[in-house]
Structure 1
Amino acid sequence: MKAIVLVAAAALIAAPAAAETVLITAERMVDVLTGRTVEKPAILVEDGRIRQIGTQGTLTITDGKRIDLPGLTLVPGFIDMHVHLTGDPRISPMDSLLKSDSYWPVLGAVQARKMLDTGFTTVRNVGSGNFDDIAIKQAIDDGWVTGPRIVPAGYALGATGGHCDETFFPPSFERTSRGVADGVDALRAKVREIRKYGAEVIKVCATGGVFSRNTEPGQQQLREEELKAIADEAHMWGVKVAAHAHGTSGIKAAIRAGIDTIEHASLIDDEGIKLAKERGAFLSMDIYNTDYTQSEGKKNGVLEDNLRKDREVADVQREGFRRANAAGVRMVFGSDAGVMPHDMAVNQFAVMTRFGMTPLQALRAATSTAAEALGREKDVGAIAVGRFADMVAVSGDPLASVDPLLGAKAVVKGGVLVTDRR
């Protein structure tokens, strides 16, 4: 009798749950893959993925849920390729030292929800302490908290004393980031270690940075052979690599090393732009956040030396963005949220069009092109059959102006209405 019960219980566990069906309708839908607008769309969703796309009246359901968004335009859920969920610029450096170590993932979960509410259904978190971004991802995936899909990096890799090391402490503290290593073999081992604990992208600091101490953005801080070792090791494990690279030489070394996305790219020159296009590297350039850091940084406790570096790269970076986009380099949306409040990241759309992008190019940078950079074209980045039903409902025509993208009226993730501001 006991054996029969166990077999029956096993059968119940193995039996697939009934597929949840949802029909989503709206006034229109933007197909970012073709650049076309579809009138009166009807989107059939099963178990969180899009199974069929048709038009209202021809595609209906008799049993299931409906999400009707009359008068609104659907675009794919946004992807931010460069965020720091566990950071907040309004917490001063001194105040941050008074927080418990376990404070930051709690804060990160709150920030994740803010990004979701503004339309970011996927974010790539490029570095956090204590593997906090991986913990937040797990809590979201398990349904304990609501937030976007997270592609976590865990600890960022870097050189001793470089941008990704602990640079604000005296020698007596003996503080070194867990991601720090020097030399080809040590950095290969770090890739394995960080991936072991859940990283889905490897972040590496190829140059100095703006908001670290005793580093300059233009400084190259890892040799090209070290960067190549990181890229080769990560790619062998099926993981992509993002390189923080402000400086000209570091940008080009990272591209030649085979790194997938170049973050910031502030001082990129024409040779670097040509190299990025030839090698197929993606540029993730955070061209909005300086508006916030320059207006609020001093009040938030940012040191003058850091604000000085921020000023020096701001305009140069924006002009580099314009030239790279005009040259046909593949550009993705990366805001560096955490340097500014997370709910402001969406404002970067307006700056992208101010510096040369069309509204469609800006939208693709945050959807289909970003999905390609992630290697997740089958899951996110477009309202297309087989992909997750992640979408944002906006008013107006986002192909005429990006203004509608700045104020999401509703957000759907996996066929569930997670935000409704109508």
Structure 2
Amino acid sequence: MTSQVSSPAGQADEASEALVGGQRAPRSGHAGAGEKEIRRLDRVIIRFAGDSGDGMQLTGDRFTSETASFGNDLSTLPNFPAEIRAPAGTLPGVSSFQLHFADHDILTPGDAPNVLVAMNPAALKANIGDVPRGAEIIVNTDEFTKRPMAKVGYESSPLEDGSLDGYNVHPVPLTTLTIEALKEFGLSRKEAERSKNMFALGLLSWMYHRPTEGTETFLRSKFAKKPQIAEANVTAFRAGWNFGETTEDFAVSYEVAPASQAFPPGTYRNISGNLALSYGLIAASRQADLPLYLGSYPITPASDILHELSKHKNFGVRTFQAEDEIAGIGAALGAAFGGSLAVTTTSGPGVALKSETIGLAVSLELPLLVVDIQRGGPSTGLPTKTEQADLLQAMYGRNGEAPVPVVAPRTPADCFDAALDAARIA
């Protein structure tokens, strides 16, 4: 029997590989003479926005991990452009990461950010429409020069023409401060600029009393083969923290207490739907005592599964990157005929192309897992718009007399169990 898994490309789950209830970041005391004021909030929505090369996804991911380790309930919304290498500083090239965290149970990443971090004029213009009056906006003033502003249609600087008067704007020369903080490392200006996202992360970590140890450990691990770059990023991160602590422009910091339904202390993994599904397929292969074969053609947002499974040859996993979607499922079906646990991964446009071979698998009664990581639109569609758009196609997109069980996971972590269930049914 052929079994199909239909899933949205999972956002980060509400757990991270860190100690929940871990050590809180340093803080100043209650407001007094020369001291910072601390305000307590029940929830906050933060959006990091910048050019695709500014590292907004990494910045958001690290803030998310520290927030999860602190014990807040959270929901995230990564948003990256569909265009391939859109010109730097243009509206189509803006990438953002939104995080909603609270001291109580929340269900969505939110609509209107309380804080917008804009790394350039394009990021400000692309996101200002979502920001409510009175919200805080942190802007990298180094990028608000004539040419970058002209690229997105600003005739005058929004930082000076009064158009942002309804917001609490914090102008910060992020690039200059980062380069100054990294002088001792002897990096080129371009290399030093790359760490400005860590400066911004340090500043936001100070504002919301996020733990810092996990991020420093992560940076040293990520750049283990380049210790100078690792220490430069850690230094930029600390410089951002210290800037928040010492500057008069940030007189207030905020506390969001851990959620009452927080996870018990322990080690948790920050996991996406694609990663959980990959691990589930490997587990299914081991339990069934069958070699795992993946026949696939790269397609956003399913390619992560191909990338991940290719790392696990030690578990008898064989991955095949075919020349197109039809060849991918054809190879998988051949592997099923040969006795393998056969899988093909795709998105909605690929399911349309694979339909004929799915029908063949049903008629031959061969076990085959078709994994549909969903996105909006037919054909080329909207590759960065992940949504549950393929359900009817998964249920009915075949010839008559070709029934296929459909397993639909409900969360990123549930993708692990869904993979096991689908393999068992097939």
Which structure has more relative contact order (CA 8 Å, sep 6+)? It is: 2
**What is the TM-score when the length of structure 2 is the normalising length?**
0.27
**What is the TM-score when the length of structure 1 is the normalising length?**
0.27
